[in-house]
Structure 1
């Protein structure tokens, strides 16, 4: 019996790794097929109400988008395309929940070592690109090796706080994992991942539980951020700079990139530096023209936003309109109106409100989920949140939620015995 169980757990660990790794291939059709196939393979006879409350908000967004479609003349191809995109968070949450079968899977270790594998592959791609193809420009390196990696940040944070999750690592293994994953994560030079790492670190340190110590630390941190940004803002940085200068320029531009109120589309520099803000402005303008009911229900599946000019993307395609925006809130607003935005906020609030417990292990899982919710408020605004075709956070959330249920059940059984 024991060997059968171990082999089954190992199989699910392999499936988990495959479902995470496929997202890095930047092929959503392949990701969609792999996730669907894995859900069918691992389907459970029973699902708890816990996972249901997390997927209901995204199901509601999809249903409202479907109903709103009947008020517009959007093509079937565009509708089917949107259905697959709007299904992604639902599939990811269910998939992650189903892949966590038992505590014997060593869930935290699984996330750590899958992150390590991704980091090794990433560093290998960077090394090959730099040595063989002589590409040293940071912008070109990111084009080949990837622009960000949320999953590696999860792995890195879990390595740092491994003792709190009852994960045993030798000193040598700890430093191997820490240095490899940290170095790989840094080389993405992703502002979003830096913010994610800070939010997760502060979350697991308990700084989001408001008390005198936490308030002092938060005030000190934000003061440091304001002073640091002021210094960077006053630097004379080139948008085509290399290495650290490229990163600093991106940091300098970050506040206006998604929030700027006016963007000149005829000014190439202004348009490219603040494209996310431009998308938001167009979406609000289009939705205002729909009137009250249009803004309430959205424009439905297959709807899009005309850009007013040609846009050349990183993968070489040319766009004149966009259906899925960088901003998840704006995407929900376009497809399902203010109702959709409401349900997206409901999901974040549900994720944020993890129950209290005396069990230290469960408490750490709660802190990680709460930190994820806080980060998603930002990530939804600039990187499409759980709708992004290359993201895997939905799988991790589902994985951790099921793990938490297993720990709660085990903790309740222990209390009954006592």
Structure 2
């Protein structure tokens, strides 16, 4: 009996630490704090956990990217401060995946992560709606203002909405119909007022993955074809409409949608035109990074400029929001990895994403929960493939994505270990 009580106590302790971890890194949104907290959790939890083969192989790919960029730094030279900062940038997602995985193995509860994220997301949505309504009532507002006071996006709310919309597939039986309706309504309202293009696309991606539409089949090909046609048609219509860059409200949001492709890919920019440069900043950053790698020659092209290298923006005047002319991180994650670890690094990163995607083809052992978790992990692959273009993907400085991914990799392994649909996880 004493041993049983002790085990229950440890289980609750891990749950409390898990909740505190997410709340702290959410509200204390500092890279250094997140890294130290994650490292402390790793030191205390990881030694007692056996990592699955799939998770180990996945993080090895990320580790090899780090190793490649470190070797390149010794070839080209570095400053100690930038080298250390680069090591922290590259190892943070590895640590977060491992810690998320370890928490899952220790908590050992299917519903726990869903319950916490859904309830926490509802709380955050209500707070966000209150802030938006308050600003609407007392002040003249714009899209920029609402994004400044309420935030540009919220990953917790994002996953809360995805889980509610996929309740049947995820088998979240603890949710009542009334709670689902209320939750979807509140999260959707909050979601809209973030005016986030990235979150809009990401929700669609995850829903399609959870429902298995990303597996190659005649049905998924037809759906994919019509999605592509719809996207092309949408942008043709957008580009036929005159939208004012300096407008506010919905027009401002549609303007940002309109320029999204050129923002990422167009690098032929007149840097003297501040409006054009700002609209296509991601493309400009990527262009300078590619040029500087190519100037160094074959070694840099294949192995990168090194983990401590900086992208020289080559701008001789100040730009609002840009404090330095030499920066360690750029928005385009593929070019960021290319700059630091070369073509080899990009190959390893795409291999990491592909490995996550292939999880959707893994054997489900006649277990519907395992099948949907496999599909959800596939959703992370598509999410990272897309967001790496615009917000550095898994290397996003303040993202919680690696931690949540790690938790679901652990959940996947727990369900496989049990091998039964009716496995009773601890409550």
Q: Same fold (TM over 0.5)?
A: yes
TM-score normalised to structure 2 length: 0.90
Q: Distance in 1 between matches of 2:375 and 2:65?
A: 27
Q: CA RMSD in A?
A: 2.2
SS at match of 2:325: strand
| Residue 294 of structure 1: aligned partner | 300
CA displacement 1:368-392 (0-9 Å, x = unmatched)? 1112201211111111011112211
Deviates more, 1:261-270 or 1:3-12: 3-12
| Residue 246 of structure 1: aligned partner | 252
TM-score normalised to structure 1 length: 0.92
1:11 to 13, 23, 27: 13
CA displacement 1:129-153 (0-9 Å, x = unmatched)? 5556x36211022122211223322
1:347 and 2:347 aligned:
no
Q: Distance in 2 between matches of 1:78 and 1:290?
A: 19
2:98 to 94, 102, 114: 94
| Residue 370 of structure 1: aligned partner | 378
| Residue 394 of structure 1: aligned partner | 402
| Residue 64 of structure 1: aligned partner | 68
| Residue 52 of structure 1: aligned partner | 56
Matches within 5 A, 1:294-313: 294-309=300-315, 310=317, 312=319
| Residue 141 of structure 1: aligned partner | 146
2:391 to 378, 383, 398: 383
| Residue 336 of structure 1: aligned partner | 341
Deviates more, 1:175-184 or 1:371-380: 175-184
Q: Distance in 2 between matches of 1:110 and 1:307?
A: 42
SS at match of 1:71: helix
Matches within 5 A, 1:75-90: 75-90=79-94
2:291 to 281, 285, 289: 285
Q: Distance in 2 between matches of 1:220 and 1:126?
A: 35
1:211 to 1:294, Cα distance in 2 relative to 1, 3 A: closer
Q: Distance in 1 between matches of 2:16 and 2:291?
A: 46
CA displacement 1:342-387 (0-9 Å, x = unmatched)? 1111110111111121211111111111122012111111110111
| Residue 169 of structure 2: aligned partner | 164
1:131 to 1:3, Cα distance in 2 relative to 1, 3 A: farther
1:231 to 1:124, Cα distance in 2 relative to 1, 3 A: same
Contact 1:17 1:114 in 2 (8 A): no
Contact 2:143 2:253 in 1 (8 A): no
Deviates more, 1:176-185 or 1:17-26: 17-26
SS at match of 1:216: helix
1:131 to 1:24, Cα distance in 2 relative to 1, 3 A: farther
SS at match of 1:87: helix
Matches within 5 A, 1:133-212: 134=139, 136-168=141-173, 169-212=175-218
Q: Distance in 2 between matches of 1:243 and 1:8?
A: 50
| Residue 360 of structure 1: aligned partner | 368
| Residue 32 of structure 2: aligned partner | 29
Residue 281 of structure 1: how far off its partner (Å): 0.8
Structure 1: state its 5+ residue gaps.
none
Q: Distance in 1 between matches of 2:31 and 2:169?
A: 35
Residue 261 of structure 1: how far off its partner (Å): 3.8
Contact 2:169 2:210 in 1 (8 A): no
Q: Distance in 2 between matches of 1:393 and 1:113?
A: 18
CA displacement 1:57-116 (0-9 Å, x = unmatched)? 111111111111112232111111111111121011011101112026633223322333
Q: Distance in 1 between matches of 2:133 and 2:12?
A: 31
| Residue 40 of structure 1: aligned partner | 43
2:275 to 264, 269, 284: 269
1:104 to 1:215, Cα distance in 2 relative to 1, 3 A: closer
1:329 to 1:319, Cα distance in 2 relative to 1, 3 A: same
1:226 to 226, 232, 241: 232
1:326 to 318, 325, 331: 331
